[in-house]
């Protein structure tokens, strides 16, 4: 079941209505049944994986807390890692590593028939696996006590708004909220619906319309050069943001209606003035997970300089692999790691250049230049993220500026898959979104802006957003991009 489906528009209000009618002590039962039903709507048998992972970490969490000997705690922690990462490896990475091994042997003319598993990737497995591992690590570190109520813990692992694409929540934030009695409130309902409305606008009006251009070009990259490739690449940057941020906003809004506060997952990443700033704004829940559970244990930046650079590379290569079992994702992660290392290594040099050009005397101009450079570098990375193969990615990189015509009207609808009317709608919707983001960057969000206006203006804005979604949205129930991770 996807957020942008008619099924969800019936399912969610029904769950909310029952949630506030039944006594608090039974709400976890409703949430658990609803979450499992939500997940089983894709492939019913894969709910067994969530149940198994939940039961294992529930038991191990309690046993780690009870254990008095550090070695015993480490063994129990290792079992959790073995089970969770073992499931993730089997369903997501086994075929990739098996085929990569075959390719490596073929370089030495050694024949090898790889064993492949004919299984589908369970939706959201990377997300709930990391959420469960985060819980176990926090218990091991004595940051939280284990949850004794199996049902509540199962809801924490499978909570349907954020089950398949995050945000990846921490037990210390989410678990206590399931124990607290929530009351129906108009203010919370209104706030949640506004966030969901914004998420639907991002997904069906922006992301799914831009996808027409992106898919047309990237599914047959050798048919295009120059402007179509540039346009599709830039459009993908906004498509993946609106697709993923749209999902996160719908999840956050849906949870808020039920009195559950999920963490913010995006903070206007394309206003970032450096690669480090970008990764503080993009997929915040995942990057904070890697920071706390991988980067800091590796030593973070409190190590000699070469080791710090290595730590950054390791984190981002692993991040790339987390996103997908393909060398394109590995290179995407490594490229972003290289960006960070290069940025850190040349910080003083860049400051010197800025002073020589006197850009430091014009901070706004300097900031605009930095934002532009950061956006360009991120887009180069997105090429590898979106390309169907390494050969496609390298073709795009080497043909971005080939056969460029300054007359964009020479580009036909067949070149980009979207007519001029559709292109105008897409660009107009992007302009609306970025105008809102600019307001937020300046410290005044759209909700604060509208709250100061008369009721007639506020409701006119909400109605306009609904009309835009209904008129220009794509309602083909296109899957969210991050469902594949």
DSSP string, 364-413: HHHHHHHHHHHHHHHHHHHHHHH-SSHHHHHHHHHHTTSS--S-GGG--H
Query: Do residues 420 and 390 both lie within one domain?
Result: yes
Q: Find out whether 239 and 385 touch, Cβ atoms under 8 Å.
A: no
The verdict on residue 94 lying in a domain is yes
Helices marked H in 258-297: 275-281, 284-290
Least confident piece of the model among 48-62, 131-145, 299-313, 363-377? 363-377
Catalytic residues, by residue number, are: 323
The verdict on residue 264 lying in a domain is yes
Model confidence pLDDT, tens digit, residues 244-295: 999 999 999 999 999 999 999 999 999 999 999 999 999 999 999 999 999 9
Using alpha carbons, list the distances in angstroms from residue 306 to 36, 137, 276, 347, 455: 46, 28, 18, 16, 58
Query: Do residues 137 and 197 both lie within one domain?
Result: no
Query: Do residues 24 and 56 both lie within one domain?
Result: yes
| Rounded CA Rg of the chain | 24
Report the alpha-carbon distance of residue 204 to residue 224 in Å, rounded: 26
pLDDT at res. 411 = 57
pLDDT at res. 300 = 92
Query: Do residues 285 and 338 both lie within one domain?
Result: yes
Q: Find out whether 109 and 146 touch, Cβ atoms under 8 Å.
A: no
Mean pLDDT of 139-166: 94
Query: Do residues 205 and 243 both lie within one domain?
Result: yes
Q: Is the pLDDT of residue 408 over 60?
A: no
Residue 255, classed as helix, strand or coil, is: helix
Q: Find out whether 191 and 258 touch, Cβ atoms under 8 Å.
A: no
Residue 321, classed as helix, strand or coil, is: helix
Least confident piece of the model among 52-56, 323-327, 362-366, 383-387? 362-366
Model confidence pLDDT, tens digit, residues 186-219: 889 989 999 999 999 999 999 998 998 899 999 9
The verdict on residue 485 lying in a domain is no
For 89, the domain range is 6-184
Band of residue 441 on the pLDDT scale cut at 50, 70, 90? confident
The verdict on residue 381 lying in a domain is yes
The verdict on residue 126 lying in a domain is yes
Query: Do residues 160 and 197 both lie within one domain?
Result: no
Query: Do residues 252 and 385 both lie within one domain?
Result: yes
Query: Do residues 237 and 384 both lie within one domain?
Result: yes
Least confident piece of the model among 78-82, 223-227, 270-274, 354-358? 354-358
Higher pLDDT, 265 or 6: 265
Q: Which two tokens stand for residue 21?
A: 């009618």
Report the alpha-carbon distance of residue 392 to residue 428 in Å, rounded: 30
Least confident piece of the model among 31-35, 211-215, 361-365, 450-454? 450-454
Mean pLDDT of 112-126: 81
From 134, 158, 184, give the residue that closes a domain: 184
Mean pLDDT of 311-340: 95
Domain count, the chain: 2
pLDDT at res. 416 = 62
Q: What is the dihedral of CA 354, 355, 361, 367, to 10 degrees?
A: 20
Q: Which two tokens stand for residue 42?
A: 């894709």
- Sequence-separated contacts (24+) of 186-190 with Cβ below 8 Å: 188/256, 188/257, 188/259, 189/257
The verdict on residue 293 lying in a domain is yes
Query: Do residues 193 and 168 both lie within one domain?
Result: no
């Amino acid at each position: 079941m996807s957020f942008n489906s008619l099924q969800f528009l019936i399912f969610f209000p029904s769950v909310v209505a029952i949630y506030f009618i039944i006594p608090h002590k039974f709400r976890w039962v409703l949430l658990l049944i609803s979450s499992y039903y939500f997940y089983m709507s894709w492939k019913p048998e894969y709910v067994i994986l969530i149940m198994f992972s939940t039961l294992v970490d529930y038991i191990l969490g309690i046993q780690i807390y009870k254990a008095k000997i550090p070695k015993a705690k480490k063994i129990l922690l290792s079992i959790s890692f073995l089970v969770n990462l073992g499931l993730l490896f089997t369903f997501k990475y086994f075929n990739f590593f098996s085929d990569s091994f075959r390719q490596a042997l073929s370089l030495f003319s050694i024949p090898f028939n790889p064993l492949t598993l004919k299984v589908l990737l369970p939706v959201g497995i990377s997300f709930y696996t990391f959420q469960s591992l985060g819980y176990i690590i926090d218990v091991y570190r004595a940051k939280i006590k284990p949850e004794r109520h199996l049902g509540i813990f199962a809801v924490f692992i499978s909570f349907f708004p954020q089950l398949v694409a995050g945000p990846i929540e921490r037990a210390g934030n989410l678990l206590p909220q399931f124990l607290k009695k929530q009351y129906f409130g108009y203010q919370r309902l209104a706030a949640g619906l506004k966030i969901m409305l914004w998420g639907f606008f991002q997904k069906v009006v922006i992301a799914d319309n831009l996808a027409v251009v992106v898919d047309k070009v990237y599914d047959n990259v050798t048919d295009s050069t120059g402007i179509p490739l540039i346009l599709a690449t830039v459009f993908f940057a906004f498509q993946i943001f609106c697709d993923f941020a749209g999902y996160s906003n719908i999840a956050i809004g849906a949870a808020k209606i039920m009195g559950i506060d999920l963490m913010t997952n995006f903070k206007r990443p394309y206003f970032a003035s450096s690669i480090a700033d970008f990764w503080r704004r993009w997929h915040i829940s995942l990057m904070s997970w890697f920071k706390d559970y991988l980067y800091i244990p590796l030593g973070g930046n409190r190590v000699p300089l070469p080791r710090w650079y290595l730590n950054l590379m390791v984190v981002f290569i692993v991040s790339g692999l987390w996103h997908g079992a393909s060398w394109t994702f590995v290179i995407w992660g490594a490229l972003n790691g290289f960006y960070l290392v290069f940025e850190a290594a040349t910080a003083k040099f860049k400051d010197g250049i800025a002073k020589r050009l006197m850009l430091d005397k014009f901070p706004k101009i300097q900031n605009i230049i930095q934002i532009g450079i950061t956006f360009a570098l991120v887009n180069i990375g997105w090429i590898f993220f979106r390309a169907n193969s390494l050969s496609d990615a390298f073709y795009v990189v080497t043909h971005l500026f080939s056969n460029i015509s300054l007359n964009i009207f020479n580009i036909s609808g067949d070149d980009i898959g979207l007519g001029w009317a559709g292109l105008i709608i897409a660009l107009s919707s992007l302009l609306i979104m970025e105008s809102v983001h600019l307001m937020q960057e300046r410290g005044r969000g759209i909700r604060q802006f509208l709250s100061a206006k008369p009721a007639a203006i506020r409701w006119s804005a909400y109605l306009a957003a609904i009309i835009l979604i209904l008129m220009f949205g794509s309602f083909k129930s296109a899957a969210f991009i991050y469902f594949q991770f």
